[in-house]
Chain A
Amino acid sequence: GNSVTQMEGPVTLSEEAFLTINCTYTATGYPSLFWYVQYPGEGLQLLLKATKADDKGSNKGFEATYRKETTSFHLEKGSVQVSDSAVYFCALSDSGSARQLTFGSGTQLTVLP
Chain B
Amino acid sequence: EADIYQTPRYLVIGTGKKITLECSQTMGHDKMYWYQQDPGMELHLIHYSYGVNSTEKGDLSSESTVSRIRTEHFPLTLESARPSHTSQYLCASSEYAGSRDTQYFGPGTRLTVL
Contact A106 B42 (CB under 8 A): yes
Q: Are B99 and A51 in touch, CB under 8 angstroms?
A: yes
Task: Return B96 CB to nearest CB of chain A, in Å.
Answer: 8
Instruction: Beyond the given A43-B90, A99-B94, please list 16 additional residue pairs across the A-B interface where CB-CB is below 8 A.
Output: A32-B99, A32-B101, A34-B102, A36-B105, A41-B110, A43-B107, A44-B43, A44-B92, A93-B102, A93-B103, A95-B98, A98-B48, A99-B96, A99-B101, A100-B33, A103-B43
Measured in the bound complex, the distance between the Cα atoms of B41 and A89 in whole Å is: 9
**Residue A87, interface by CB 8 Å:** yes
Contact check: which of B42, B48, B96, B100 meets A100 at CB < 8 Å? B48
Is A49 at the interface (CB under 8 A from chain B)? Answer: yes
Q: Which of A44, A46, A51, A93 is in CB contact (< 8 Å) with B90?
A: A44
A103 to B45, CA, bound (A): 10
Q: Report the nearest A residue to B42, measured CB to CB.
A: A105
Provide the residues of chain A in CB contact with B108, threshold 8 Å: 42-43
**How many of chain A's residues have a CB under 8 angstroms from any CB in B?**
26
Q: List the A side residues contacting B31 at CB < 8 Å.
A: 99
Residue of A nearest to B100 (CB): A51
Which residues of A, 28-48, contact B by the 8 Å Cβ criterion? 30-32, 34, 36, 38, 41-46
Q: List which A2-47 residues lie within 8 A (CB) of chain B.
A: 30-32, 34, 36, 38, 41-46
Q: Is the CB of B101 within 8 A of A43?
A: no
